Amino acid sequence: MIAKLLEKAVAGERLTPAEGLQLLESHDLVALGRAADAVTRRLHPENYRTYNIDRNINYTNVCTAVCDFCAFYRGPKSDEGYVLSQEQLIAKVQETVELGGEQILLQGGLHPKFTLEWYEEMLSDLKRRFPTVNMHAFSPPEIYHFTKVNNLSLHEVLSRLKAAGLGSLPGGGAEILVDRVRNEITRGKVMTDDWLDVMRVWHQLGGHSSATMMFGHVETLAERIEHLDRLRQLQDETGGFTAFICWTFQPDHTDMSDVAPAGSFEYLKTQAVARLYLDNIPNIQSSWVTQGLKMGQLALLYGANDMGSLMIEENVVAEAGTVHYLTLDQIRDSISELGYTPRQRNVHYDLIPVEHELKAVNANRLRDQQLLQLV
């Protein structure tokens, strides 16, 4: 039933939203996986698959938005709210660099009081101390929040942050880019068009970013396709997305804990369809952080060409009760077991020099040994 659609996608022809929906409604996971893998091999014929080393630093958990799916945030009046000091940030970045990392994923809640100058100072100080580290920072909800708190345009906010050291934008806070869904699961947070506008302006400034989707909650299959289509349209316009990452909603410890979590079948199917549909986004990352080692590895046969990040630190998903930690050797071995050479890359998917890569491997092995001795 879907064979002709899969042939069309594998040949490089663009799928329509109706055709994408038809694929998502299919249960032929093997056929979808084969087609997605064929597209990946066409786009990435090289004999390697990649990964990144970075750290997700959440500089604050104080947030004015109310997201039913989030177990991490704390309201402005909560006794459990925190803001990391500059000394704490520096120590975390320093450790990341020592383990071979060349990027920091810096995100927080929507803090009600901090001015743009506060963020500029944080960025410029980190960039001055770590000039070679890419600051992959501030998701679209944060950027949009900055415009409201400071009464400034998107262009000015992003231009100033770029001048202060912002290197690339993470695609967080997308969830599902359909206002019906966003209205149901969140309050006080950026809506679809404004999320896309943040990315549009950043791309117009010459910046790159990633795109994400969190699925498996209140959205329909058609709304998943609508999300992918909005991303594809913007990519046609700007070409600024380097990668797409999707993961399943983790309901534990959230106000949506009654939602039955989507399983591995749904994850692999959705990622495969994303690879077939997003014909203009070059890279797809596996989400082992939510799926675990084996599913993360299997995702490399269902459309992904990248294992994502080592994630030296991750807090948001962990707060929802999903805790998957992999060592660098496990990530590299999962790639090797599929017959590919593991290679470290940067945010632009340029390969890191082999000498740096080997130093990172040795540094991480030493750290893993030290951690085992503490257990």
Q: How does pLDDT run along the chain (375 residues), one tens digit per residue?
A: 799 999 999 999 999 999 999 999 999 999 999 999 999 999 999 999 999 999 899 998 888 877 766 777 687 788 888 899 999 999 999 999 999 999 999 998 888 889 999 999 999 999 999 999 999 999 999 999 999 999 999 999 999 999 999 999 999 999 999 999 999 998 889 999 999 999 999 999 999 999 999 999 999 999 999 999 999 999 999 999 999 999 998 877 777 777 777 789 999 999 999 999 999 999 999 999 888 999 999 999 999 999 999 887 655 444 444 566 889 999 999 999 999 999 999 999 999 999 999 999 999 999 888 887 776
Q: Can you give the pLDDT at residue 106? A: 94
Q: Which residues are annotated as a binding site for (3R)-3-methyl-D-ornithine?
A: 139, 287, 309
> Could you tell me the sign of the dihedral formed by the alpha carbons of 338, 339, 344, 349, in that order?
negative
Q: Which residues are annotated as a binding site for [4Fe-4S] cluster?
A: 63, 67, 70
Q: Which residues are annotated as a binding site for S-adenosyl-L-methionine?
A: 69, 175
The rounded distance, in Å, linking the Cα atoms of 145 and 261 is 30
- Cα angle value 184/188/194 (rounded, 5°): 90
Q: Can you give the pLDDT at residue 313? A: 66
Q: Can you give the pLDDT at residue 81? A: 83
Q: Can you give the pLDDT at residue 221? A: 98
The rounded distance, in Å, linking the Cα atoms of 175 and 193 is 13
Range(s) of the domain holding residue 83: 3-374
The rounded distance, in Å, linking the Cα atoms of 359 and 354 is 9
Q: Which residues are annotated as a binding site?
A: 63, 67, 69-70, 139, 175, 287, 309
Q: In CATH, what number is assigned to the domain containing residue 318? A: 3.20.20.70
Q: Total structural domains in the chain?
A: 1
Asked whether the beta carbons of 124 and 164 are under 8 A apart, the reply is: yes
